[in-house]
Amino acid sequence: MSKVKVARKSTRIDMTAMSDVTVLLLTFFMLTSTFVKKEPVTVATPASVSEIKIPETNILSILIDPKGKVFMSMDKQNDLEESLIKVGNEYGVTFTAEELKKFRISTTFGVPIVKMKAYLALKPDEQDKVLATFGIPTDSTNNQFKSWVRAARQTNGPDLRIAIKADQATPYKVIKSVMTSLQDLRENRYNLITSLKKETAK
Amino acid sequence: MAEIQENSGGGKKKKGGSKQKKLSVHIDFTPMVDMNMLLITFFMLCTSLSKPQTMEITMPSNDNKITKDDQPPVKASQAVTLVLAGGDSLFYYEGLPDYKNYQKLKLTTYGVNGIRSMLINKNREAVIKINELKEKKLQMKISEAQFKKEVSEIKGGKNTPTVIIKATDNSTYKNLIDALDEMQICSVGKYVIDKYSPSAEGLLIKNYRAKGAFSR
């Protein structure tokens, strides 16, 4: 019997090189990534030509949605906890250790302090749902926003930067009340977050 | 790379083994690649690569201790007041408010043909100087620090206009940012966000809309 022998070739592809590449990419993304913060409301920031980048840490960001609801977020969890205790003291609300722990992991907060206890008792996914309906009161009679900023400043020291991120359709009335509150606290320097637009003087 | 070929020994393995079966350890990396790809996708979707831009502003202090004497007066000839009204409309007047002549208040638009051309005209000297500086910086003739220093010197110069921005409650945040943006584009160094008062600027606008019916 003489048959032409066909060389048997394995169809296996060596995945090692591929795996090397993917691991490299993964490492790159893991090291460079800063996670997108979960925000209760979507905010479209107005565009500007300013090219100053926002510092990465130690920011107290104030989020204002088109309807004028105010939310806040801080990046240091310890300061978050301390601020809550301070604001709680001011309004006569004390929090248990468990509640504080829950508050630490919330990225954005914005619930009137009297409702904070009930809010913290909710499950995380329920919290996300209801958070958008609240907002920190900023009116002159019940200005908890001021208390929060004051507490944040006290716990964080002078290095804390304040950044306002507001939707472009927000009426100026709301911005004004936030700005005057900040002025009352002698916080006269802050950043306004914008997105990039290219334009130059001709 | 992932194959470990063992060529030493062959044949069957027995209990007192002198002979070994030929072993080729072949590791299949496909699941590993799958998993990595998944992780990469996750990271790519969850990261924000572009950092947002910011605009730094300094508001005047509303400390009561600061009296009129502490505030440097602004020359009326160099003051421009922008009034941001609702519906994206923008008014401006130069110098002091004029309640008699409604035409002193001018209606303009945001952007190239409106407010920008007016401000650049007012601030022509500084704009030209700053553009020259920018050119120099591009050609690496001056350092970043020097550039900043000279820019702030030009912006704080004597013949530059002072812009007072007054926003009504009907205007939006975008209007405010646009106005602040124009300050940057037109190299205006001295600007301030002031409170809008319905009895002063409001009256001017009312007068303008009524074509001078409320002139005093």
Q: Which residues on chain A are in Cβ contact (under 8 Å) with B48? A: 34-36
Q: How far apart are CA B71 and CA B68, in angstroms?
A: 5
Distances (CA, A) of A75 to A60, A72, B51: 7, 10, 15
Range of lowest pLDDT (A14-28, A100-114, B34-48): A100-114
B37 falls in which pLDDT band (50, 70, 90)? very high
Q: What's residue B216's pLDDT?
A: 60
A109 falls in which pLDDT band (50, 70, 90)? confident
Give the rounded percent of residues in chain A with a pLDDT score beyond 70. 96
Q: Which helix (H) or strand (E) holds B111?
A: none
- B87 at the A interface (CB within 8 A)? no
Q: List the single residue in B26, B29, B47 with the smallest CB-CB distance to A36.
A: B47
Q: How large is the angle between the packed helices A144-156 and A172-184, nearest 10 degrees?
A: 50
SS3 for A114-170 is: HHHHHHHHCCHHHHHHHHCCCCCCCCCCCCHHHHHHHHHHHHHCCCCEEEEEECCCC
Domain spans of chain B, in order of start:
3-45, 74-123+160-209
> Exposed, middle or buried by CB within 10 Å (0-12, 13-18, 19+), for A97?
exposed
Q: How far apart are CA A47 and CA A55, in angstroms?
A: 18
pTM, whole model, 2 decimals? 0.74
Domain spans of chain A, in order of start:
47-196
Q: What's residue B67's pLDDT?
A: 56
What CATH code would you report for B74-123+160-209? 3.30.420
- B199 at the A interface (CB within 8 A)? no
Question: Scanning every residue of chain A, which has its alpha carbon at the shortest distance from the alpha carbon of B30?
Answer: A15
- 8 Å CB contact of B169 and A176: yes
Task: Look at residue B62 and tell me whether its pLDDT is greater than 80.
Answer: no
Q: List the single residue in B28, B43, B60 with the smallest CB-CB distance to A29.
A: B43
Task: Look at residue B19 and tell me whether its pLDDT is greater than 70.
Answer: no
Q: What's residue A202's pLDDT?
A: 43
- 8 Å CB contact of A183 and B59: yes
Q: Which helix (H) or strand (E) holds B80?
A: strand B79-84
Q: What is the mean pLDDT of residues A112-131?
A: 80
Most A CBs within 10 A among B84, B173, B182, hence the mutation to make, goes to B173
B45 falls in which pLDDT band (50, 70, 90)? confident
Q: Which residues neighbour B1 within 8 Å (Cβ) at sequence distance 6 or greater?
A: A14, A16, A17
The model's pLDDT over B65-123, given as tens digits with 9 standing for 90+, comes to 555 555 666 777 778 888 888 778 888 888 777 777 777 777 888 877 888 888 888 78
Q: Which residues on chain B are in Cβ contact (under 8 Å) with A194? A: 52-55, 177
Which range of A23-32, A154-163, A189-198 scores highest in mean pLDDT? It is A23-32
Question: What are A9's two structure tokens?
Answer: 């070739």
Q: List the single residue in A26, A50, A182 with the smallest CB-CB distance to B55.
A: A50
Q: Which residues on chain B are in Cβ contact (under 8 Å) with A25? A: 36, 40
Q: Which residues neighbour B167 within 8 Å (Cβ) at sequence distance 6 or greater?
A: A172, A176, B83, B84, B175, B176, B179, B193, B196
Task: Look at residue A150 and tell me whether its pLDDT is greater than 80.
Answer: yes
CB A197 within 8 A of CB A47: yes
Task: Look at residue A36 and tell me whether its pLDDT is greater than 50.
Answer: yes
Q: Which residues on chain B are in Cβ contact (under 8 Å) with A165? A: 52
- A58 at the B interface (CB within 8 A)? no
SS3 for A38-84 is: CCCCCCCCCEECCCEECCCCCEEEEEECCCCCEEEEECCHHHHHHHH
The model's pLDDT over B132-188, given as tens digits with 9 standing for 90+, comes to 888 888 887 778 788 888 877 777 777 778 888 888 888 888 888 888 888 888 877
Q: How far apart are CA B127 and CA A202, in angstroms?
A: 9
Task: Look at residue A12 and tell me whether its pLDDT is greater than 90.
Answer: no
* Of the candidates A72, A202, A67, the residue with the CA atom closest to the CA atom of residue A149: A72
Q: What's residue B50's pLDDT?
A: 63
B9 falls in which pLDDT band (50, 70, 90)? very low
Q: Which residue has the higher pLDDT, A28 or A142?
A: A28
* Of the candidates A162, A149, A147, the residue with the CA atom closest to the CA atom of residue A59: A162
- B66 at the A interface (CB within 8 A)? no
